[in-house]
Amino acid sequence: MFARPAIRMRCATGLLAIGILLMLGGCGEELKPSVLEQVKAEGELRVITRNSPATYFQDRNGDTGFEYELAKRFATDLGLELKIETADNLGSLFAGLGRPNGPVLAAAGLVETPARQSQARFSVPYLEVTPQVVYRQGQPRPTKAADLVGKRILVLAGSSHAEQLAALKLEVPELSFEESDAVEVVDLLRMVDEGQIDLTLVDSNELAMNQVYFPNVRVAFDLGDANRMRWAVAPGDDDSLLQEANAFLQRAEANGTLQRLKERYYGHVDVLGYVGAYTFAQHLQKRLPRYEQMFRQAGRSHQVDWRLLAAMGYQESLWQPTATSKTGVRGLMMLTQRTAQSVGVSNRLDPKQSIEGGARYFIQVHSQLPESIREPDRTWFALAAYNIGGGHLEDARRLTEAEGLDPNKWLDVQKILPRLAQKQWYSKTRYGYARGGEPVHFVRNIRRYYDILTWVTQPQLEGTQVAESGVHLPGIDERRPEDETPPL
């Protein structure tokens, strides 16, 4: 059904008027503007979501998350401000969607299920995920539905997973499970990680996003077919906003926006590898606490986000102060002899000195970059210069420009950097051969670690939530507001 136009008319006599009114959709009724027209008139797109790493959360720059970013782009396309509301559980999320002057769109990793069809109408899908049974490493691994019998299973109340388990129970009547509306997916994973429950069911993207925080959590098996995530609007017959959302999602698929967001938010395990994600989670708990205050201190003195320094330290040495590379580069921040001298580090193996020297050097290379490189790319270029040196980076920028690409965009320069290792290219450069692939991995990994550290230390997880959360790190809750410096 099509949306009605935004005009208000009273019923009138006369055939012509009646004909027009019939076309407009009825007699004797005040014609209301469509939802889309209302939203445009109000100038804001009100979206309801959930606060979780896979949907929406606060990071160093404010609001972020896959659903947030996607909804933000939709609002921008419509020329609207985005207004986010969060729901504590799925019940209140769907209830909020029908509220007068409430949110008009739900963007919360939702799957269309039979039970939800009366609560909402769903958009075209934008993400395919697989429901996965997860268990705790060290326990026997369930491999099929029958293995779920006799286990303590907890899922989110009102979730597609609860519906899925209820359907499974018809086939396997001995199966039992519980639902809770007081938890989020991170809590379920933590409870498995700590052995408070045996199993839960989560979507593959949620697990990919969270794997790094929960070292003991493992996939048992995929349960059922892949699910498709969709946005939702309130029930009714006004399709105006839904059609607009569908058109937007189709464009986002066609122009690569969706793919980029998927890589950014759900790609941790893809980038780090399963073992890498697992190892990072362990090191986060065991090693970082020893150096956290040093990173915070160096961040404060040099006005750099300490989590970026910590991410660099992890990439360089896995937070090991005595690390040594084949080329003799040493210490937690892997300073060369020359760099160490230039930033006043006398003992590279002293973690405090190494972190302080690394931060100082980073700031130095950051400030030496051409003005034409703007943030956030400037931070990525500075990381590359830290790793490969400013001269080689400049060579790569020149090659990038010669290729008709943008030498001020990291996305373009990182494509060209590996050429510094190929004779046909490096023979034409000023500084010659360099392992140009190394800074590409270097920057990519650091960005990934930085994202993870940002989530782990976000302000929302402070206080009671931090204490109860599996992602708590010692020292985080002692943080003072002045530690919250921007990346640069």
Catalytic residues: 316
Sheet holding 44-49, edge to edge: 81-86, 44-49, 105-111, 227-233, 121-129
Query: Which of these segments, 56-64, 112-120, 330-338, 471-479, binds ligand BLG (CB under 6 A)?
Result: 330-338
CA-CA distance, 153 to 168, in Å (whole number)? Answer: 13
Q: What's the CA angle centered on 84, arms 78 and 88, to 5 degrees?
A: 145
Chain center to CA of 143? 29
Ramachandran quadrant class, 222 (left: phi over 0; alpha: psi -120 to 50; beta: rest) = beta
Instruction: Tell me which residue has tokens 């590898």.
Output: 273
Q: Which residues 254-293 are close enough to bind ligand BLG by CB under 6 A?
A: none
Binding status of residue 391 toward ligand BLG by CB under 6 A: yes
Q: Which residues 442-461 are close enough to bind ligand BLG by CB under 6 A?
A: none
CA-CA distance, 474 to 476, in Å (whole number)? Answer: 6
In whole angstroms, the minimum distance from the beta carbon of 333 to ligand BLG comes to: 6
Binding status of residue 326 toward ligand BLG by CB under 6 A: yes
**Secondary structure element (H or E) that encloses residue 53, with its range:** none
CA-CA distance, 59 to 50, in Å (whole number)? Answer: 15
Nearer to ligand BLG, 126 or 386 (CB): 386
Nearer to ligand BLG, 391 or 474 (CB): 391
Binding status of residue 327 toward ligand BLG by CB under 6 A: yes
**Do 229 and 122 touch, CB atoms closer than 8 A?**
no
Nearer to ligand BLG, 193 or 316 (CB): 316
Query: Which of these segments, 7-15, 288-296, 327-335, 404-412, binds ligand BLG (CB under 6 A)?
Result: 327-335
Binding status of residue 334 toward ligand BLG by CB under 6 A: yes
Residue nearest to ligand BLG (CB): 389
In whole angstroms, the minimum distance from the beta carbon of 285 to ligand BLG comes to: 25
Site string for ligand BLG, 339-378 (x = CB under 6 A): x---------------------x-----------------
Pairing between strand 121-129 and 227-233? antiparallel
Query: Which of these segments, 10-18, 93-101, 332-340, 465-473, binds ligand BLG (CB under 6 A)?
Result: 332-340
Nearer to ligand BLG, 132 or 354 (CB): 354
**Do 450 and 425 touch, CB atoms closer than 8 A?**
no
Give the Å distances, CA to CA, from 376 to 247, 295, 365, 380, 487: 30, 21, 15, 7, 9
Instruction: Tell me which residue has tokens 């893809």.
Output: 270
Q: Which of 25, 98, 224, 390 binds ligand BLG (CB under 6 A)?
A: 390
3-state secondary structure of 65: coil
Binding site for ligand BLG (CB under 6 A): 316, 325-327, 329, 334-336, 339, 361, 386-391
